[in-house]
Structures are given as structure tokens and as C-alpha cells.
Amino acid sequence: MIQNERETRHEHVLHVARQMMTAARTAPKGKGVDIIEMALVTDDDLKVLSDTMIAMTAEHGMKFFLRDAANVLQAECVLIIGTRAKEQGLNCGHCGYSTCAARPEGVPCAINSVDVGIAIGSACATAADLRVDTRVMFSAGLAAQRLGWLEGCHTVFAIPVSASSKNPFFDRKPKENPAG
């Protein structure tokens, strides 16, 4: 049997993305409480994510969403990683408030934010070890959050994944309009 790399690349990238999810799941947690949620975005849902990002640009004017929306379409898949809101009860003050009880509704627990950051780092390290290209995107994560793809998560980031001869997430040019 002869398997051409161009014909097997997509399945390989999906396999790597699944390994990234395992790395994120097993990443250390600040208090040992697992509040990380993840999903893999593929196929037609990549277009849904990109279109949502374009629509969001019209609402808030952050033009880098257009560039990132184009990058999402260049990816083989996008890993979304988020954290459910959970007060850790440490009264550590890292959120800017002296106690957990003093923290206003809507202000995330800093331990939750650190946990999702560690999970993202573990996922990206796995991608680097397996020689696929990634980029952490706040923009695509915010769009995935708006779409409700990680139910109950209030902090979501996205990691598009690619294996091509040139990293599409490097040397990116700003976009002026969705067609540009």
C-alpha cells in the first residue's frame, strides 16, 4: 500500500488536534478542580465560525477579526478551549478583590483564567512537538462563545490547526473587508 501524505494529512491533523485536547485535559489545575471544556470544530462549522467573526467585526470594528476569520478558513480544524465559571473559594485576591465574596458577578475567578491558560499552553506545546502550526485566537474563541459551542463557559479561546508548507498564521496581513 502506498499512502500519499497529501491524502492523509487532514486525518493526521485531526488526530493531532485530539492529542492536543488530551494534553489540555491533563494539564495541571490551580486547585485540582477540572473546569475545562473543549470541542473540535471541523468541516462546515469552520465557515460558521468565520462568518460569525465577520459579523462581529461589523458590530465592534475590531478589524483583526477579519484577518482571523480568513485564518479560520485556512485551518484544517479549530480547537476551542474554555472554562466554566467556578469560584475556587481561596480568597487569594488574584482577581483584584480581597475575598471571593467581594468579587462582583461577571468578574472571572483568576484561578479559572490561569487554568484555561495552562490548558492552552499544554495543547500548543503538543502541537509544536508534533510539528503542526497553531495560533491562539481570542477572536475565534469569542465567536465560539457567542455561538454557545461550549455550554456554560464564559472564557473561551480558539486554536486553529494547520499542516501546510507555509504557516498561515504567521506574517499575517490585516484585512479591510471580508472579501479582501
pLDDT tens for 29-82 read 988 989 999 999 999 999 999 999 999 999 999 999 999 999 999 999 999 999
Residue 74 near residue 168 (C-beta atoms within 8 A): yes
Please choose, from the candidates 88, 93, 82, the residue with its C-alpha nearest in 3D space to the C-alpha of residue 21: 82
Percent of the chain with pLDDT over 70: 96
pLDDT mean over 8-35: 95
CA distance 57 to 60: 5
pLDDT of 135 reads 96
Residue 167 near residue 13 (C-beta atoms within 8 A): no
Q: What is the CA radius of gyration of the chain?
A: 17
pLDDT mean over 154-160: 96
- How long, in residues, is the chain? 180
pLDDT of 172 reads 66
Domains of the chain (ranges; CATH) run: 5-162 (3.40.109.10)
pTM for the model stands at 0.91
Please choose, from the candidates 129, 127, 130, 146, the residue with its C-alpha nearest in 3D space to the C-alpha of residue 138: 146
Q: In what order do the strands lie in the sheet with 36-41?
A: 36-41, 77-84, 153-162, 133-134
